[in-house]
Amino acid sequence: MADSAEWALLEDDIRSVIASPAELAIRAARLVDRRHGRICRAYGFTAFAANNADGYFVFNCDAHRAPPAIVDDGDDLAATAAVMTACFYLGFVSRRC
């Protein structure tokens, strides 16, 4: 969640050169992982997470629907619940590190 506000500012610029939401989500996951010192060898985008999957849930939270928790860098269960109820679910980026 702490990276959400920063990513939202870059999204429009990046979206113009990336063809699909799945590709955008995979690139975002790779950037977040690198920023936090994690290096994974492969990423994939699926509709849902498998049991015990490692990765990121992907939501479309445009500026009008985004809950304040994203903008305020919230990093707790309430912020997660706000995103899950206010935003549109797109899929899951799996990580194979």
Q: Where are the domains of the chain?
A: 4-96
Question: The whole model's pTM is what?
Answer: 0.70
**43-77 CB burial, b ≥16 within 10 A, e <16:** bebeeeeeeebebbbbbebeeeebbebbeeebeee
Q: 54 or 13: which carries more pLDDT confidence?
A: 54
Q: Name the token pair of 65.
A: 């629907």
Tens digit of each residue's pLDDT (9 = 90 or more) over 20-33: 889 889 988 999 89
Average pLDDT over residues 7-23: 68
CB atoms within 10 A of CB 84: 12
- 């920023």: which residue's tokens? 35
Residue 65: its pLDDT value, please? 65
Instruction: List the helix and strand counts (H, then E) for the chain.
Output: 4, 3
Query: Which range is least confidently modeled, 46-50, 83-87, 93-97?
Result: 83-87
Mean pLDDT, residues 64-74 taken together: 59
